[in-house]
Structure 1
């Protein structure tokens, strides 16, 4: 009798073939998707540009540069801290959206997909700004960058310098003070002599006090034989130096004030004893060594008294002779 194959055995073999086919289809799909992902254009090279410092009351333009590689843009969002204040969505009928954030005033005429302009910035707008860019379907790839902006309030007054001497000698102490009105942030003060920055040393003392909302103050004290002055005193034809204090706030504000200070190489002067009346007083044992004028007045008084006595003696003699 001829043998026959059992049906279920053939069916089991068919099930194994279907599983193998499904696995192959899954692998092929994964390869296709991977190829699509690798070849797809996507967002890259996102960079943010925010002014490091801007003067209070001025406009500030913040920009976001990116490369979509021909992919479609979905949205650009701007944040101050954690609060969104501007959004650009190109697929919308009105692509620009402004959200209410305290102190922020967006200039829509100067804002688009890559930049946003703020009008009349105030001190309260100092802080961190973020730009978030998202590409459209199917990936919706999103990147975000942040940067800090400082709003500066300038001092209302010009800097002022005061010096305790207009001429200094090689053995003199010297002090100068430079001040400038309140600013935000407080101003920094730097000292220069003939264009060279003065650094603090034991013989060149620099102090500075600067607090928010108060006058910035800096003093320069120079002692004899300080390094910064030695070369000037040794120079044969150096008659004076130029002292300058520079007031700066970040890179947007620079003001300076300067003075000419004379240099004297003459030795310390001594006062002649004769000018003090000491020479004249030595001629008199009982004279006043501390006041030659007073001694001279006493001499004149004695001379006058002697002349008056002689006149009286002559008149008395004439009177007796007449009698």
Structure 2
């Protein structure tokens, strides 16, 4: 429809501007293109769900297999790269004639027969290979989408000797102090020592003192000191003599989840009061004095020593009385 406008006593017809239809068409084409591109991007198939699997702990000298799992859907793989820290040590490129590449990194020895597009195996790992590992996956053209994941691995050096335990008493009474020491040789990282009595973990309290000294490259040492009426022993003494006559003391040595060893010793419980019979009268060497006062932990421990002079006086008195009767 055209409009007529009177100008100076005459009328003039107004027509639509000639450029508007062309601009409108261009705008519609651009909008449609954006919609098509967005739809293509949303429906494109490519790299997703990248996951890395690295052993948390590996014993020194063993092999370690690191794997990288991913889903390319319909996209093609361009490369898989492995890094130790920031240094690349292994690459897999399927389009190459020789897909696998190994780069020199100190301490790393790649087992090519057990390495491929999803995993890489390291032979004879050393302590120096403790650290962070990264897996980087890239899809092929046209997008070359790349993703990366990282994980930490600990290389463990085991102690050369089994753990050992020493106790200061083999029989303890309700009012006795008790001390035990557990040791294990050097390891990396230092071992952790845990104490148990009859399968129950012993916790640190004012009456149950636990100390541990652990330094890299030296023996790990832990001591357990139990004082009278401690919580862990109270129940055992209350159950005597009908149910409980001894306890099983155990020290467990562990390094992460790959090393567990223990040593145990049975400790007797005694409710008997101290005897006054001298061990010397029984032909025992109980009169020897030790720092802990009890070399053999027998039931005679703590007994008062009868003096030979007292026995002589008693014998003389009996003889005198017999003579008076005569």
| TM-score normalised over the length of structure 1 | 0.81
Instruction: Report the equivalent of 1:250.
Output: 256
Instruction: Report the equivalent of 1:262.
Output: 268
Q: Which of residues 206, 213, 227 in structure 2 aligns to 1:202?
A: 206
User: Cα 1:283–1:109, aligned 2, differ >3 Å: closer, same or farther?
Assistant: closer
Structure showing greater Rg: 1
Q: Which of residues 288, 313, 317 in structure 2 aligns to 1:281?
A: 313
Q: How does 1:128-139 map to 2 (within 5 A)?
A: 128-139=132-143
Contact 2:85 2:134 in 1 (8 A): yes
- Does residue 112 of the first structure (1) align with residue 143 of the second (2)? no
Instruction: Report the equivalent of 2:45.
Output: 41
1:101: Cα distance to partner? 0.8
1:24 aligns to what SS in structure 2?
A: helix
Instruction: Report the equivalent of 1:192.
Output: 196
Contact 1:274 1:280 in 2 (8 A): no
* CA–CA separation in structure 2 for the residues paired with 1:4 and 1:171: 123
| TM-score normalised over the length of structure 2 | 0.80
Instruction: Report the equivalent of 1:304.
Output: none
1:242: Cα distance to partner? 0.9
- Does residue 78 of the first structure (1) align with residue 89 of the second (2)? no
- Does residue 238 of the first structure (1) align with residue 239 of the second (2)? no
1:116: Cα distance to partner? 0.6
Query: For residues 93-146 of structure 1, what are the alpha-carbon distances to aligned partners after superposition, in whole Å with 9 as ceiling and x for unaligned?
Result: 111111111111111111111111000000000001111111112221111111
> What RMSD in Å do the two structures reach over aligned CA positions?
2.4
* CA–CA separation in structure 2 for the residues paired with 1:274 and 1:43: 86
Instruction: Report the equivalent of 2:297.
Output: none
Instruction: Report the equivalent of 1:310.
Output: none
2:306 aligns to what SS in structure 1?
A: helix
5+ residue gaps, structure 1: 286-295, 297-323
Structure with greater helix share of residues: 1
* CA–CA separation in structure 2 for the residues paired with 1:274 and 1:152: 55
5+ residue gaps, structure 2: 1-10, 279-303, 320-326
Contact 1:186 1:210 in 2 (8 A): yes
Count of equivalent residues: 280
1:278 aligns to what SS in structure 2?
A: helix
2:33 aligns to what SS in structure 1?
A: helix
* CA–CA separation in structure 2 for the residues paired with 1:113 and 1:283: 97
Instruction: Report the equivalent of 1:309.
Output: none
1:93 aligns to what SS in structure 2?
A: coil
1:275 aligns to what SS in structure 2?
A: coil
Contact 2:276 2:305 in 1 (8 A): no
